[in-house]
């Protein structure tokens, strides 16, 4: 049998929505990091995402995105590379649970990508069944 939660009638239940945090940074395919540098970078990400998870607000740890890709345009025109025409790339995403886009934005302010000149785009997720 599940646990019974008793709450006062006037207490509102906080609705949590999902938001995707999209990570962008400058496209530099020549950038190489030493193993120690990579370990330090990964530790920063693990700590940040672990803090979000500890609050029960990490809906999905998302994925890192690779640098290889293709873009399909109208008329079935295929272009090699997802960023032939831009100087920044999408590097990954996570999905967080928050009461509002403002709360999701506050969560994103701790993202390690901001320390290296990258940016975080915060977008609401609209479930397909709405």
Tens digits of residue pLDDT in 61-102: 999 888 788 888 899 888 876 655 566 778 899 999 999 999
CB atoms within 10 A of CB 11: 7
What is the CATH topology of the domain spanning 17-29+36-124? Alpha-Beta Plaits (3.30.70)
The pTM assigned to this predicted structure is 0.77
Return the pLDDT at 67.
74
Structure tokens at 90: 């999408």
Parse the chain into domains and list their residue ranges.
17-29+36-124
Tell me: pLDDT of 38 over 80.
yes
**Contact assessment for residue 15 and residue 99, using Cβ atoms and an 8 Å cutoff:** yes
CA atoms of 93 and 111, how far apart (whole Å): 11
- Residue 89: its pLDDT value, please? 79
What does the pLDDT read at residue 130? Answer: 59
């Amino acid at each position: 049998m599940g646990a019974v939660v008793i709450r006062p009638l006037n207490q509102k239940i906080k609705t949590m929505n999902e938001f995707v945090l999209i990570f962008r940074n400058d496209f530099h395919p020549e950038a190489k990091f030493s193993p120690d540098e990579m370990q330090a970078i990964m530790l920063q990400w693990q700590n940040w995402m672990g803090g979000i998870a500890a609050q029960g607000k990490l809906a999905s740890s998302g994925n890192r995105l690779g640098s290889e890709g293709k873009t399909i345009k109208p008329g079935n025109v295929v272009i090699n590379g997802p960023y032939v025409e831009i100087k920044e790339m999408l590097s990954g995403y996570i999905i967080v649970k928050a009461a509002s886009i403002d709360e999701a934005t506050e969560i994103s302010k701790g993202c390690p990508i901001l320390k290296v000149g990258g940016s975080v785009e915060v977008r609401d997720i609209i479930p397909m069944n709405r």
